[in-house]
């Protein structure tokens, strides 16, 4: 990121619209309460215009500059991201496979002094997310590769229907592709008695339960992906869809397993002997 303009986090966020610097203030508390209410209702809270337009340009420039460091994984999976057991009856949704082709730039390839890192390391953002998720405490993830990464969807990139393994995720909508790359979701169906019939209908192309979230550049998205079925539709064109992922944990010092790091970044992030 050398030579690029880097901003202080407090100047990156549109604090007039999203007054998160002090959540004990009247404005801050009201804003956080409303955001929490949206998350509780739908398992998703999008804050459009969270990032100022001039910051967005810088974040997009930074993200584009590190696309070459993305590790791509391509494969198939069921909606539960788990091997289906041999006891699962034929025709069960767990036996149906979706395609995914996505890249990720790891944390150690994102400039140490980049604007994205400054934003990630800014405590008021962490505090907002803690309040929206109603967690007693929240910590930045300690993973050397997965703490803050950038998801990259190039031409042909897509993420098939699935439920996340992690309870929640936080992403920033930085750069929309020329076409495709829609975020679609079916809110809070995990564990419902009719979960499998809804999943089957969605996989069959039934749109009745499906909602689409517009890609609104500059928005912050706090999302409970374990309960909500979701996907990113296939991207086309030369402009990649770029979405930084900001990871947090309820306990300090948490990291991904080596298996997860190998899958998403092709290495463990540990020094080789």
Q: How far is the CB of 86 from Fe ion (least distance, A)?
A: 26
Stretch that binds Fe ion, among 1-9, 55-63, 204-212, 218-226 (CB under 5 A): 218-226
How far, in Å, CA of 48 to CA of 246, rounded? 17
* 3 state DSSP class of 242: strand
Among 124, 160, 225, 244, binds Fe ion (CB under 5 A): 225
By Cβ distance, which residue is nearest to Fe ion? 164
For residue 128, count other CB atoms closer than 10 A to its CB.
28
Q: Which is nearer to Fe ion, 115 or 171 (CB)?
A: 171
Q: Which is nearer to Fe ion, 61 or 164 (CB)?
A: 164
Report CA-CA distances (Å) from 226 to 16, 79, 146, 253, 264. 32, 11, 18, 22, 18
Stretch that binds Fe ion, among 86-94, 135-143, 163-171, 208-216 (CB under 5 A): 163-171
Residue 164 is a binding residue for Fe ion (CB under 5 A):
yes
Number of residues that bind Fe ion (CB under 5 A): 2
Q: How far is the CB of 164 from Fe ion (least distance, A)?
A: 4
Beta strands per DSSP E along 65-223: 71-77, 98-105, 139-140, 148-153, 158-162, 169-172, 183-186, 211-213, 220-223
Are the C-beta atoms of 37 and 25 separated by less than 8 Å?
no
Record the tokens describing residue 192, joined without a space: 């419902």
Stretch that binds Fe ion, among 8-16, 144-152, 189-197, 221-229 (CB under 5 A): 221-229
Q: Which is nearer to Fe ion, 95 or 166 (CB)?
A: 166
Q: Which is nearer to Fe ion, 28 or 180 (CB)?
A: 180
Per CB under 5 A, residues contacting Fe ion are 164, 225
């Amino acid at each position: 990121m050398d030579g690029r303009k880097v901003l202080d986090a407090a100047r990156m966020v549109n604090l007039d619209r999203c007054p998160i610097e002090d959540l004990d203030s009247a404005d801050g508390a009201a804003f956080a309460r409303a955001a929490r209410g949206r998350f509780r209702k739908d398992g998703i809270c999008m804050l459009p215009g969270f990032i100022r337009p001039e910051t967005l340009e810088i974040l997009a420039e930074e993200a584009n500059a590190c696309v070459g460091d993305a590790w791509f994984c391509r494969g198939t999976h069921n909606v539960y991201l788990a091997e289906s057991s041999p006891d699962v009856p034929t025709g069960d949704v767990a036996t149906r496979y979706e395609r995914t082709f996505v890249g990720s730039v790891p944390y150690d390839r994102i400039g140490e002094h980049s604007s994205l890192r400054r934003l990630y390391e800014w405590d008021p953002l962490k505090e907002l997310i803690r309040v929206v998720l109603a967690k007693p405490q929240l910590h930045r993830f300690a993973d050397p590769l997965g703490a803050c990464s950038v998801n990259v969807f190039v031409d042909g990139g897509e993420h098939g229907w699935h439920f996340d393994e992690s309870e929640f995720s936080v992403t920033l909508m930085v750069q929309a592709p020329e076409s495709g790359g829609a975020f679609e979701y079916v809110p809070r169906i995990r564990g419902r008695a009719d979960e499998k019939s809804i999943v089957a209908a969605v996989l069959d192309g039934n749109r009745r339960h499906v909602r689409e979230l517009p890609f609104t550049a500059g928005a912050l998205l706090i999302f409970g992906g374990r309960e909500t079925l979701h996907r990113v539709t296939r991207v086309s064109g030369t402009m990649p869809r770029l979405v930084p992922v900001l990871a947090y944990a309820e306990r300090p010092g948490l990291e991904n397993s080596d298996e997860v790091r190998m899958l998403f970044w092709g290495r463990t992030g540990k020094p080789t002997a």
